């Protein structure tokens, strides 16, 4: 019998793909989303239309900052796993509207921690970000690296989520896994992300903005690989202090709590201009480029060490950028009829 899972942010880019995969695998999914207008709500509704075709999907419309909603979830639904993805995303928007990040990412996550405590879930999994590595330049980034120098308020809220989760894990014995995502892309992506913006501009014959004059590297992670890793991690529950045996030296498992953090990335960083080249090839268009300086809050490079992910799940993300970008373009042309 498949488990019942609560997924927050179910109409979002990652949440949609995760819910769809879990429903296809036979899970019963309670999906929670506020359908905020940070970007096109029609895109979110189109995702939900697909999820609602599954008889084992239960839609809940509401905001995780609402304590009453979380009480309702506790009283009306049975689930033993929570995958918390709902958040205010984006580095640049956090510079313009930090208070929104405080409310959603801090207060909202607190409510989910409380929900996990009340329901005594077997496993809580939550989304963090590679941005928590901040000003670190020693690469690849490992989960055991110190990460106290975040470069944006978005990253600061995500680091705070990790710390909050650790305290709940220690005090209440809740098994918690936090994942740090590395530049996720693919079909149904967010319109504020580079691939989406570049595609829209290039099809309209408009220039694209290239920051730091293109001297940037990213560990681009295709959405299907990310989702596959999350599904595997749901069954990889951090053991209690009393029950554990010696693990690999690179394990981030806490000394005092059933808590760990796991990188999910492709572990093959590429230059931003290679990414643009893959897009030009997929569209058969040469991009007009605005070469600009680095943006505030941004970092020059990311690179995930995924030894821990492989050790825990036996899985290595493997989709290359050319393949992933082509799949995004195929979806984009079909969805927007261009």
Could you tell me the CATH superfamily of domain 4-185+220-267+303-318? Answer: NAD(P)-binding Rossmann-like Domain (3.40.50.720)
The 10s digit of each residue's pLDDT in 210-256 is 999 999 999 999 999 999 999 999 999 999 999 888 778 999 999 99
Q: What share of the chain is helix, strand, coil (3-state, %, to 5)?
A: 45, 15, 40
Query: 163 with 128: CB under 8 angstroms?
Result: no
* 177 CB-near residues (< 8 Å, 6+ apart): 123, 124, 125, 126, 233, 236, 237, 238, 259, 260, 261, 262
The 10s digit of each residue's pLDDT in 290-331 is 999 988 878 889 999 999 999 999 999 989 999 999 999 999
The 10s digit of each residue's pLDDT in 23-46 is 999 999 999 999 999 999 999 999
Query: 109 with 67: CB under 8 angstroms?
Result: no
* 250 CB-near residues (< 8 Å, 6+ apart): 142, 143, 144, 305, 307, 308, 311
- Running DSSP on this structure, what letter comes out for residue 131? G
The 10s digit of each residue's pLDDT in 257-295 is 999 999 999 999 999 999 999 999 999 999 999 999 988
Which of 39, 57, 154, 332 is catalytic? The answer is 154
**Integer Cα distance of 143 and 261 in angstroms:** 6
**Integer Cα distance of 34 and 37 in angstroms:** 9
Query: 151 with 299: CB under 8 angstroms?
Result: yes
- Running DSSP on this structure, what letter comes out for residue 239? P
Q: Is the pLDDT of residue 1 over 70?
A: no
Q: What's the pTM?
A: 0.97
Q: Is 154 a catalytic residue?
A: yes
């Amino acid at each position: 019998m498949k488990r019942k899972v609560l997924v927050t942010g179910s109409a979002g880019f990652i949440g949609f793909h995760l819910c769809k995969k879990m429903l296809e695998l036979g899970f019963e999914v309670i999906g929670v989303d506020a359908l905020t207008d940070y970007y096109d709500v029609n895109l979110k509704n189109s995702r939900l239309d697909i999820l609602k075709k599954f008889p084992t999907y239960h839609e809940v419309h509401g905001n995780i900052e609402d304590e009453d909603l979380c009480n309702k979830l506790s009283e009306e639904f049975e689930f033993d796993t929570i995958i918390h993805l709902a958040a205010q995303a984006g580095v640049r928007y956090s510079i313009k509207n930090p208070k929104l990040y405080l409310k959603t990412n801090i207060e909202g996550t607190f409510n989910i921690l409380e929900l996990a405590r009340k329901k005594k879930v077997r496993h809580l999994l939550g989304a963090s970000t590679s941005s928590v590595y901040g000003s670190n330049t020693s690469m690849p980034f490992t989960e055991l690296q110190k990460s106290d120098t975040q470069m944006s308020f978005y990253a600061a809220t995500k680091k705070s989520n990790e710390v909050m989760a650790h305290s709940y894990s220690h005090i209440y014995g809740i098994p918690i896994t936090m994942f740090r995502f590395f530049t996720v892309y693919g079909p149904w992506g967010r319109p504020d992300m580079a691939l989406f913006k570049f595609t829209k501009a290039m099809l309209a014959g408009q220039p694209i903005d290239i920051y730091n004059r293109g001297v940037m590297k990213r560990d681009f992670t295709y959405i299907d690989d990310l989702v596959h890793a999350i599904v595997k991690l749901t069954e990889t529950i951090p053991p209690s202090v009393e029950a554990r045996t010696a693990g690999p030296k690179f394990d981030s498992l806490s000394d005092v709590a059933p808590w760990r953090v796991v990188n999910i990335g492709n572990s093959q960083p590429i230059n931003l201009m290679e990414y643009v080249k893959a897009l030009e090839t997929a569209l058969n268009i040469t991009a007009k480029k605005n070469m600009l300086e680095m943006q505030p809050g941004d970092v020059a490079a990311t690179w995930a060490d995924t030894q821990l992910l492989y050790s825990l799940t036996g899985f290595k993300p493997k989709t290359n950028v050319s393949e992933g970008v082509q799949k995004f373009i195929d979806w984009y042309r079909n969805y927007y009829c261009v």
